[in-house]
């Protein structure tokens, strides 16, 4: 079997067999196929796509089994994870995982780091002093069994073919291919040993998918692909035109997550946590829920109100080496060296707050990465003092910026102000949940 022949077959619109797809994935994992040939194949897929019935499930299976697939079958109960396609202020995994776990569904979660204008769950968690996201697979399984959850980073053993192929996609302008996006996400998530997956597919300025139509195509592909390989899946398409919540960064988003677990927090963060949590409880067959969305939501609201979800988050922090005292004392989180208020230069209604530009402002402040190797400042970020639809007068504080030095504050302020648009009249509210696919 020659890579040359497989590239030509896909280039000409042919359908590859499972064995041919496995050969290509083997070549990516072992180095047995040259980078230029793998890149040519990825470009062929970019233009020709993959057959959703005969190719894509086989491609995903090969990607999934390019490394270790965790076997959590010895842990009682169904295991369900959540994946977000990435947004600004998207800290939902932090309150969601302990909330769902305490309601009876196991949550094994392998997360990623932030890149570009979107944040990463690992960077947020590592802003908690001492918190380790690099645990052994054995410790990961132990905590999922004992606490009902564990949050770690991708190990070298999980979906190694994806790391190789994603790096080539990033270098060859083939990232925006729906089959390749779907298989990349699912090869990592399904390797966790989960029974079901809830997808949060972001839509809008601050999302990878800018339009609802594009997001629906990606969501439909991932839901159908999960089902084709025997996993339950539900996708919520959610708004990302504006940042989620008021905090954008790392430590500031941990603080906001803890506020949600305390029963407060911004309405949109709380609501999305509850909506995604209800889907996870239903998919996981949570005890006492009986397939009823209203009962699922009530169960989650009770766990927030009685403090059990907050307590479980503290237990998780302690188990992963972190300072669990942060759940009672937010001052133990990293503090910025410099703080600056950004004030409105005019009056009117805040009609736009471009999520992508706000995310880039956070990167300018030091909270994110322009390149994978860049360090992050866990104390950097921003707090939004005004939301879209608010009336603004000249001199009002729009946001509070956190950074290590004045130069970063200057860059962050300039970028943030470019995200702000004032106008006249009321702003029609945009729904948080735009669609649901199952």
Domains and CATH numbers, the chain: 3-49 (1.20.970.10), 80-327 (3.40.1030.10), 334-423 (3.90.1170.30)
- Quick check: 279 and 238 in contact, CB under 8 A? no
Is the pLDDT confidence value at 101 over 80? yes
Q: Report the length, in residues, of the chain.
A: 438
Which one from 61, 90, 123, 162 is the annotated catalytic residue? 162
- Our separate counts of H helices and E strands in the chain read 16, 13
pLDDT of 284 reads: 96
Q: Where are the alpha helices (DSSP H) in 103-250?
A: 121-125, 137-147, 160-172, 178-190, 212-228
Which one from 188, 299, 378, 415 is the annotated catalytic residue? 188
pLDDT of 113 reads: 79
Active site residue 162: yes
Residue in this structure with the two tokens 């180095």, named with its chain if needed:
31
pLDDT of 154 reads: 78
Which one from 93, 177, 183, 184 is the annotated catalytic residue? 184
Task: Provide the 3-class DSSP secondary structure of residue 434.
Answer: strand
Beta strand 391-392 with 348-353: parallel, antiparallel or unpaired?
antiparallel
Active site residue 337: no
Nearest to 165 by CA among 181, 152, 178: 181
Active site residue 169: yes
- Quick check: 432 and 272 in contact, CB under 8 A? yes
> How does DSSP assign 127-151, residue by residue?
TSTT------HHHHHHHHHHHSEEE
Read off the pLDDT band of 374 (50, 70, 90): confident
Percent of the chain as helix, strand, coil, to the nearest 5:
45, 15, 40
- Average pLDDT in the 147-157 region? 88
* Claim: this prediction has a pTM higher than 0.85: yes
- Quick check: 123 and 113 in contact, CB under 8 A? yes
The secondary element (H helix, E strand) that includes residue 402 is: strand 397-403
Nearest to 56 by CA among 45, 65, 47, 68: 45
CA distance 170 to 348: 41
The pLDDT tens digits for 71-94 are 999 999 999 999 999 999 999 999
Is the pLDDT confidence value at 432 over 90? yes
CA distances from 305 to 256, 262, 320, 333 (A): 16, 7, 25, 24
Read off the pLDDT band of 170 (50, 70, 90): confident
- Quick check: 372 and 349 in contact, CB under 8 A? no
The pLDDT tens digits for 235-244 are 999 999 999 9
Task: Provide the 3-class DSSP secondary structure of residue 197.
Answer: strand
Could you say which DSSP state residue 195 is in? S
The pLDDT tens digits for 14-28 are 999 999 999 999 999
Which one from 83, 113, 202, 246 is the annotated catalytic residue? 83
pLDDT of 361 reads: 97
Q: Express as a percent the part of the chain with pLDDT over 70.
A: 100
Nearest to 389 by CA among 431, 363, 352, 355: 352
| Token output for 82 | 């959540």
Is the pLDDT confidence value at 159 over 90? no
pLDDT of 341 reads: 98
Which one from 106, 169, 231, 270 is the annotated catalytic residue? 169
């Amino acid at each position: 079997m020659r890579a040359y022949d497989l590239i030509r077959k896909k280039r000409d619109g042919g359908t590859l067999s499972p064995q041919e797809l496995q050969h290509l994935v083997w070549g990516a994992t072992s180095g047995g196929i040259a980078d230029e040939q793998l890149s040519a194949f990825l470009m062929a897929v970019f233009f020709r796509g993959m057959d959703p019935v005969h190719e894509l499930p086989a491609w995903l299976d090969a990607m999934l089994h390019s490394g270790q697939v965790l076997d959590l079958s010895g842990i009682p109960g169904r295991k369900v994870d959540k994946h977000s396609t990435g947004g600004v202020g998207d800290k939902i995994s932090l309150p969601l995982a302990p909330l769902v776990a305490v309601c009876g569904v196991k949550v094994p979660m392998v997360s990623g780091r932030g890149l570009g204008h979107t944040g990463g769950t690992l960077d947020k968690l590592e802003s908690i002093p001492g918190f380790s996201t690099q645990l052994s697979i054995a410790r990961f399984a132990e905590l999922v069994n004992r606490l009902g959850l564990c949050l770690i980073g991708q190990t070298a053993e999980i979906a190694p073919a994806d790391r190789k192929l994603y790096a080539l996609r990033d270098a060859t302008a083939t990232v925006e291919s729906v089959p390749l996006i779907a298989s990349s996400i699912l090869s990592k998530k399904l390797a966790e040993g989960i029974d079901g997956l809830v997808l949060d597919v972001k839509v809008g300025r601050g999302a990878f998918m800018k339009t609802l139509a594009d997001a629906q195509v990606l969501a439909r592909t991932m839901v159908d692909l999960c089902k084709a390989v025997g996993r339950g899946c539900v996708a919520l398409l959610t708004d990302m035109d504006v940042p989620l919540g008021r905090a954008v960064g790392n430590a500031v988003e941990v603080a906001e997550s803890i506020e949600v677990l305390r029963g407060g927090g911004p309405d949109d963060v709380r609501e999305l946590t509850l909506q995604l949590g209800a889907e996870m409880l239903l998919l996981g067959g949570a005890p006492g829920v009986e397939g009823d969305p209203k009962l699922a939501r009530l169960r989650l609201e009770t766990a927030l109100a009685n403090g059990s979800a907050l307590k479980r988050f503290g237990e998780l922090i302690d188990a992963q080496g972190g300072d669990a005292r942060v759940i009672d004392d937010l001052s133990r989180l990293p503090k910025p060296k410099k703080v600056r208020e950004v004030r409105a230069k005019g009056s009117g209604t805040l009609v736009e707050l471009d999520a992508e530009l706000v995310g880039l402002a956070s990167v300018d402040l030091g909270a994110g990465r322009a390149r994978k190797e860049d360090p992050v400042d866990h104390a950097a970020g921003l707090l939004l003092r005004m939301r879209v639809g608010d009336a603004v007068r000249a001199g009002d504080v729009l946001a509070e910026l956190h950074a290590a030095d004045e130069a970063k504050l200057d860059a962050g302020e300039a970028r943030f102000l470019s995200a702000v648009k004032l106008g006249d009249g009321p702003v029609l509210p945009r729904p948080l949940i735009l669609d649901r696919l199952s």
